[in-house]
């Protein structure tokens, strides 16, 4: 499938969805992390935070690059699965510095992305399934799990 560089094309709009959502989520995470750090009298940028950020960046970087280049390479319908894979690898790595649940969540994201790319790539609704599960259902369930454990 060809992807047009026309600013109004679906590919151009799709290219911006995940990166913008990622930036919003990063800003939200930084806001709440800073707030929690201030409440406990600690700095947000300590060595453990620095290591966690370094662990997360490769997965997010790959997903960002593929979001931009993917539509031109015929991967438009795989972007949600690509983001599941990138996000899953970032979570898996972040799990080294966090709770076990973060690692498990990363595994779930990786498996979802892999199943969609390998087994469901020809199904026309795979994109929506991956997006809905990975960035809807899983996010809510993970948030409920963390809230319940506290």
pLDDT tens, residue by residue, 109-135? 999 999 988 888 788 788 788 888 888
- Does the residue 52 lie in any domain? yes
Q: Which residue do the tokens 């935070």 mark? A: 49
- Does the residue 3 lie in any domain? no
- pLDDT value at residue 89: 92
The total number of structural domains in the chain stands at 1
User: What mean pLDDT comes out for the span 51-69?
Assistant: 83
What Cα–Cα distance (Å) separates residue 114 from each residue in 19, 73, 82, 89, 131?
21, 18, 9, 12, 13
- pLDDT value at residue 2: 47
Q: Which residues contact 108 (CB under 8 A, 6 or more apart)?
A: 88, 138
pLDDT band for 68, please (50, 70, 90 cuts). confident
Could you tell me what percent of the chain has a pLDDT over 70?
Answer: 81
- Does the residue 4 lie in any domain? no
What Cα–Cα distance (Å) separates residue 83 from each residue in 33, 101, 125?
23, 19, 16
- Does the residue 2 lie in any domain? no
- pLDDT value at residue 1: 43
- Does the residue 46 lie in any domain? yes
- Does the residue 30 lie in any domain? yes
As a whole number of angstroms, the distance between CA 1 and CA 124 comes to 14
User: What mean pLDDT comes out for the span 12-36?
Assistant: 70
Instruction: Quote the mean pLDDT of the chain.
Output: 80
**Is the model's pTM score more than 0.75?**
no
- Does the residue 104 lie in any domain? yes
Parent domain of 143:
10-149
The 10 Å CB-count burial string (b at 16+, else e) for 93-105 is bbbebeeeebbeb
């Amino acid at each position: 499938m060809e992807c047009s560089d026309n600013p109004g094309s679906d590919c151009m709009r799709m290219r911006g969805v995940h990166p913008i959502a990622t930036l919003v989520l990063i800003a939200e995470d930084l806001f709440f992390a800073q707030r929690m750090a201030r409440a406990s009298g600690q700095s947000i940028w300590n060595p453990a935070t620095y290591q966690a950020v370094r662990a997360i960046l490769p997965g997010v970087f790959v997903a960002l690059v593929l979001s931009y280049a993917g539509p031109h390479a015929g991967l438009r319908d795989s972007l949600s699965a690509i983001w599941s894979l990138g996000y899953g690898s970032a979570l898996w790595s972040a799990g080294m510095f966090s709770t076990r649940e973060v690692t498990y969540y990363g595994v779930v994201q990786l498996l979802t992305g892999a199943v969609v790319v390998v087994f469901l790539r020809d199904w026309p609704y795979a994109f929506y399934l991956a997006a809905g599960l990975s960035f809807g259902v899983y996010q809510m369930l993970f948030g409920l799990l963390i809230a319940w454990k506290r």
